[in-house]
C-alpha cells in the first residue's frame, strides 16, 4: 500500500439524485480532458531533437522489433498511416485523439489505430504522450487485455496500433438499457480475469471504466487504455494519477493507492451496467455510493447474489474489499466458470499453445489462439481448481 496526502478534489454540488441512463438518452456526452501526468519516464532511447517529419518507430524495449513496414516509402508524400493501412472508418474519439478501424497492408488483418488529437507541444508533452507506449509494452499479454502491436510517431503525432474490438462498453450502454443478468456475469468474469492478471504482476490500472472496456467480435470483454497504470513495486506515489471521478475509489483522494481501488472501479462499473445507472461525478450521490448507500430501487431486478458481489466490491473500507482472486472463488462465480462459455475458454487457455494466424472468418478461434497469451501461476491454480 502507498499512502501520502494530497489535496482533496472539489466536486460539483448539483448532482443530488440518481437517474437512469435511459432518461438521459438525448443529453450530449461530454468528454473531460485527461489530467497530465505528474512526471515523465526517462527517454534514453529518444534524442531530444527527434521530432522527425518522417515516421519513426516508438519502443522502450531493447529486444523489440521496432522496424517499420516494408510498405513504407519515406520519399513519398503520404504518411506512414496512409501508405501502410487501408482506413475504413473512425470508430471512436476521446480526449487523447481519434481511433480508426484499419486493415494492414502488411498482413491483411484488421486493427485499431489511435492517432493523437494534437501535435506534440514540446519535449515534455511528447514524453508524456509516449508514456502510454511504455506502459503497453510493460504489460504481460492476456486474453482479457486489449493487445498492443506497435507504435510510431510522424509529423509530431503519435500512433498506437492495437487489437480491434467490436465496440466499447460505453457505446454498448448507450443503446442497451436492460442488460440481461447472464451477460452482466459474463462481462464481470472476463474483467475479473483481466484485473487479476494485472494485480498478479503488481500493477494497478487506476482508470477502469466503460470507456476503457472493450467487447470483441466474439463477445469477450477486454480491458484497455493503460495510460495511468502504475507498478506498485517501482512507482513513486507522486507519479500516480487518479482516473475518472465517476469511478474513483474514495481512498484515492487521500493518495491511498492499492489494488482495492481497481476492485471498487470495476464494482461501480458493473453497477452501472446492471442497473442502467447514470453515475454522478460529484455531490451527494457521489458520496452516498462510496458510503455503501446504493439506492435499493436499482437492485430490484437483480439477483441477491449479484447485489452482494457489487456491494462487496464497493465496500467503503478498501481493506475489506475482496481481491480479484477471492471474487473468482465466490461460489456463484466459480460455479459459473464450470459451464459454457467460460469453461470452454478456460479449457483452451490451460491447454493451448496459441498462434497468431487468423482471418475474418475465424474471429472466434482468434480469441483463444492469439500469440503470447500468458497465465500466471495463480491463474493456473484458479484454472486447476475449477477443472477439478
Active-site hit among 190, 200, 207, 379: 207
**pLDDT tens per residue, range 311-325:** 999 999 999 999 999
pLDDT, mean over the chain:
80
By percentage, how much of the chain surpasses pLDDT 90? Answer: 52
Checking if the pLDDT of 302 tops 80, the result is yes
Q: What is the pLDDT of residue 42?
A: 42
Range of the domain at 319: 166-336
**Are both 127 and 185 inside the same structural domain?**
no
| 35 in a structural domain | no
In contact, 151 and 111? CB cutoff 8 Å? no
- Of residues 157, 201, 248, 228, the one with CA closest to residue 376: 201
Residue 322: its H or E element: none
**Are both 316 and 189 inside the same structural domain?**
yes
| 360 in a structural domain | no
| 284 in a structural domain | yes
CATH number at residue 208: 1.10.510.10
**pLDDT tens per residue, range 115-133:** 998 999 999 889 888 988 9
Give me the mean pLDDT over the 1-24 stretch.
57
The verdict on whether 207 is a catalytic residue reads: yes
**Are both 172 and 153 inside the same structural domain?**
no
| 174 in a structural domain | yes
**Are both 172 and 63 inside the same structural domain?**
no
pTM over 0.85: no
Q: What is the pLDDT of residue 67?
A: 76
- Does 115 show up as a binding residue in the annotation? yes
CATH number at residue 144: 3.30.200.20
Strand partners, 359: none
Distance CA 21, CA 340 (A): 30
Checking if the pLDDT of 31 tops 80, the result is no
Strand partners, 57: 152
| 34 in a structural domain | no
Checking if the pLDDT of 32 tops 80, the result is no
In contact, 157 and 340? CB cutoff 8 Å? no
**Are both 98 and 64 inside the same structural domain?**
yes
Higher pLDDT, 65 or 22: 22
| 48 in a structural domain | no
**Are both 223 and 311 inside the same structural domain?**
yes
Distance CA 38, CA 294 (A): 33
Give me the mean pLDDT over the 160-169 stretch.
96
Q: pLDDT band at residue 237, thresholds of 50, 70 and 90? A: low
Higher pLDDT, 205 or 377: 205
Domain boundary among 289, 318, 336: 336
Give me the mean pLDDT over the 14-37 stretch.
59
- Of residues 278, 335, 280, 270, the one with CA closest to residue 308: 270
Q: pLDDT band at residue 381, thresholds of 50, 70 and 90? A: low
Provide the domain count of the chain. 2
**Are both 175 and 302 inside the same structural domain?**
yes
**Are both 313 and 177 inside the same structural domain?**
yes
Distance CA 146, CA 359 (A): 18
**pLDDT tens per residue, range 89-116:** 999 887 778 999 999 999 999 999 999 9
Q: Backbone phi, then psi, for 90, in 5-degree steps?
A: -85, 125
**Are both 156 and 245 inside the same structural domain?**
no
- Of residues 385, 341, 361, the one with CA closest to residue 143: 341
Amino acid at each position: 500500500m502507498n499512502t501520502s496526502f494530497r489535496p482533496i478534489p472539489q466536486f460539483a454540488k448539483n448532482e443530488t439524485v440518481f437517474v437512469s441512463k435511459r432518461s438521459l438518452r438525448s443529453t450530449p456526452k461530454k468528454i473531460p480532458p485527461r489530467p497530465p501526468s505528474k512526471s515523465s519516464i526517462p527517454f534514453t532511447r529518444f534524442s531530444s531533437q527527434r521530432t522527425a517529419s518522417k515516421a519513426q518507430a516508438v519502443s522502450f524495449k531493447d529486444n523489440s522489433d521496432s522496424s517499420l513496414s516494408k510498405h513504407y516509402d519515406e520519399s513519398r508524400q503520404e504518411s506512414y498511416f496512409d501508405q501502410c493501412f487501408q482506413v475504413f472508418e473512425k470508430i471512436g474519439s476521446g480526449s487523447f485523439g481519434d481511433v480508426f478501424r484499419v486493415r494492414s497492408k502488411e498482413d491483411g488483418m484488421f486493427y485499431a489505430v489511435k492517432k493523437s488529437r494534437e501535435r506534440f507541444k514540446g519535449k515534455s508533452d511528447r514524453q508524456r504522450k509516449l508514456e502510454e507506449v511504455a506502459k503497453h509494452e510493460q504489460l504481460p499479454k492476456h486474453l482479457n487485455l486489449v493487445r498492443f502491436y506497435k507504435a510510431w510517431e510522424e509529423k509530431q503525432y503519435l500512433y498506437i496500433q492495437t487489437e480491434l474490438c467490436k465496440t466499447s462498453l460505453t457505446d454498448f450502454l448507450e443503446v442497451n438499457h436492460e442488460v440481461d443478468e447472464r451477460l452482466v456475469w459474463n462481462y464481470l468474469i472476463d474483467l475479473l480475469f483481466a484485473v487479476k492478471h494485472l494485480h498478479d504482476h503488481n500493477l494497478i490500472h487506476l482508470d477502469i471504466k466503460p470507456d476503457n472496456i472493450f467487447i470483441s467480435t466474439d463477445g469477450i470483454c477486454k480491458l484497455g487504455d493503460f495510460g495511468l497504470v502504475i507498478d506498485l513495486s517501482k512507482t513513486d506515489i507522486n507519479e500516480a494519477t487518479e482516473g475518472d471521478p465517476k469511478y474513483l475509489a474514495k481512498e484515492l483522494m487521500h493518495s491511498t493507492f492499492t489494488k482495492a481501488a481497481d476492485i471498487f472501479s470495476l464494482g461501480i462499473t458493473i453497477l452501472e451496467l446492471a442497473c442502467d445507472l447514470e453515475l454522478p461525478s460529484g455531490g451527494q450521490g457521489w458520496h452516498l455510493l462510496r458510503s455503501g448507500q446504493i439506492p435499493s430501487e436499482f437492485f430490484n431486478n437483480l439477483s441477491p447474489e449479484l447485489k452482494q458481489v457489487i456491494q462487496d466490491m464497493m465496500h467503503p473500507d478498501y481493506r475489506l474489499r475482496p481481491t480479484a482472486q477471492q471474487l473468482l472463488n465466490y461460489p456463484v462465480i466459480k460455479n459459473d466458470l464450470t459451464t459454457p462459455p467460460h469453461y470452454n475458454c478456460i479449457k483452451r487457455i490451460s491447454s493451448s499453445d496459441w498462434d497468431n494466424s487468423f482471418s475474418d472468418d475465424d474471429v472466434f478461434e482468434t480469441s483463444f489462439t492469439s500469440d503470447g497469451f500468458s497465465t500466471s501461476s495463480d491463474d493456473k491454480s484458479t484454472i486447476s481448481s475449477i477443472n477439478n
